[in-house]
Amino acid sequence: MTENNNPLSVEEKENIMTSLLHKEGCWVDWGKACQRLQQGGINSQEIFEGTGLQTSQQNLVIVGAQVYDSLVKGEAQEDLLSYYQGPRSDVLYELRILNHQERLSAAILAKEKQLDVDGAKEIAKAIKHFSHLSQPPTGFTLHPGDAVAYQHWKNARQKKTLADKARLIAEGLKFAHSETARKQIEHLLTEAATSTSTQNAPLLPIYRFESDEQLPYILPVAGTLPLTSSDLENIPIFEKIEPYGILKINKEIDIVSIPSWQVILKAKHPVVIFCQSEDLPKQTTTKSEQLLVVIDLDVKEWNISNYCLVEENGKLKLNWFQSNPDCQILGQLLLILRPKKILDEDNLTQPWQMDD
């Protein structure tokens, strides 16, 4: 709600509303009228309904009128004031971030260069930044034109290509006021034109693992069924050295790498056994293929929700039991992995090709 610091009479309110409705005077008058209504307790929505001026337009002309008043107080020339009485509230609005003295000099510069709202925003930011420097940079003066030229000069120095440098240098020369500032910018142009193009070193091919599953997990291989319980003896537990999972293998043993799925990471003593699909206790396919089976040898307790590795008639088998079996449980089944399906493995090493 708008604070009622200076209440209006009904007659005064209607007169101002009517004036705004008919767009009497110039935009400066509209801004002062909107501000008077708001100070009188009239909110922006009511002003919009009575005059057709949207809230954003009200804010634009109010702030623009305040900047205009600062030009008047700064004893701006009549031709400058007349220039901004035209439809240029948006240009003065961009100068709101400057102090009164900077507003006047920026307004003069914007008029000289016939800048639109984007140009006004650019010079206002450049002048504001320049004012924060402890002293003017070498070759540049306190003139607002030099302030804008310095910003273009600074940006041009950071560009790599001659085309980008040349574009910013041209903008800097457009605004440069002093001869010394012009020489600074021209010197930068000379440097850019005469410097030999050097080949930058290529980017380093740096990658980062984004998830645990992208990390390979190395597992020891006990062998391929048929096996016996003695084949499970002396299966090592690998200890990884972080952060890259380096393994020290002290004995000859076959190993295999699979993704670091969560079920594998939780296992305390995982080992791989290879078998055929018909060796499974429950047939899932009619096709015979070799499967990779991961067993956790640390889990030797029965669980109705899991398959177990047991030894029957001297041979290792996977089985499921409705109750705690009489035979010894040698480990728990963690997962069964089928081989990848790739129609043409050579395609993996060739660049992608797409039909036109």
Please tell me the total count of domains within the chain.
2
Residue 93, C-beta contacts closer than 8 angstroms, at least 6 positions apart: 60, 63, 64, 67, 117
* pLDDT at residue 35 in the model: 93
Q: Is residue 156 part of a domain?
A: yes
| Residues 167, 254 share a domain | no
The answer to whether 124 and 95 have CB atoms below 8 angstroms apart is: yes
Give just the sign of the alpha carbon dihedral 128, 131, 137, 141: positive
- Average pLDDT in the 217-221 region? 86
- Average pLDDT in the 61-77 region? 94
Q: At CA 213, angle to CA 210 and CA 219, rounded to 5?
A: 135
pLDDT higher than threshold 90 for residue 235: no
The DSSP 8-state label assigned to residue 250 in this structure reads -
| Residues 133, 60 share a domain | yes
| Residues 125, 67 share a domain | yes
Distance CA 92, CA 309 (A): 82
Distance CA 304, CA 307 (A): 8
Distance CA 269, CA 109 (A): 77
Per-residue pLDDT tens digits for 319-332? 999 999 989 999 99
pLDDT band at residue 355, thresholds of 50, 70 and 90?
very low
Question: In this structure, what token pair is assigned to residue 321?
Answer: 């039991």
Q: Is residue 224 part of a domain?
A: yes
Per-residue pLDDT tens digits for 5-54? 677 888 888 899 999 999 898 999 999 999 999 999 889 999 999 999 99
Per-residue pLDDT tens digits for 275-312? 998 888 887 777 888 899 999 999 999 999 899 999 98
CATH of the domain at 326: 2.10.109
Distance CA 130, CA 54 (A): 35
* pLDDT at residue 236 in the model: 83
- Which of 162, 194, 226 is the C-terminal boundary of a domain? 194
Per-residue pLDDT tens digits for 170-182? 999 999 999 999 9
Q: Is residue 3 part of a domain?
A: no
Q: Is residue 114 part of a domain?
A: yes
E strands present in the chain = 216-224, 240-241, 246-247, 255-259, 270-276, 290-296, 308-312, 315-319, 329-337
pLDDT band at residue 353, thresholds of 50, 70 and 90?
very low
Alpha carbon 240 to chain centroid distance? 34
Smallest CA-to-CA distance from 175 within 99, 81, 112 is with 112
| Residues 185, 77 share a domain | yes
Angle at which helix 179-194 crosses helix 162-175, to 10 degrees, equals 170
Q: Is residue 205 part of a domain?
A: no
Distance CA 169, CA 162 (A): 10
Per-residue pLDDT tens digits for 78-114? 999 999 998 899 999 999 999 999 999 999 999 999 9
Predicted TM-score (pTM) of the model is: 0.52
| Residues 294, 166 share a domain | no
The answer to whether 333 and 295 have CB atoms below 8 angstroms apart is: yes
The answer to whether 177 and 143 have CB atoms below 8 angstroms apart is: yes
| Residues 178, 46 share a domain | yes
Question: In this structure, what token pair is assigned to residue 164?
Answer: 């980008």
Domain of residue 231: give its range: 213-337
| Residues 67, 25 share a domain | yes
Q: Is residue 28 part of a domain?
A: yes
| Residues 143, 64 share a domain | yes
Residue 50, C-beta contacts closer than 8 angstroms, at least 6 positions apart: 17, 20, 21
| Residues 162, 133 share a domain | yes
- Range with the lowest mean pLDDT among 205-214, 234-243, 254-263? 205-214
| Residues 273, 124 share a domain | no
| Residues 261, 190 share a domain | no
| Residues 141, 14 share a domain | yes
Distance CA 143, CA 147 (A): 6
Q: Is residue 286 part of a domain?
A: yes
Distance CA 237, CA 345 (A): 33
Q: Is residue 124 part of a domain?
A: yes
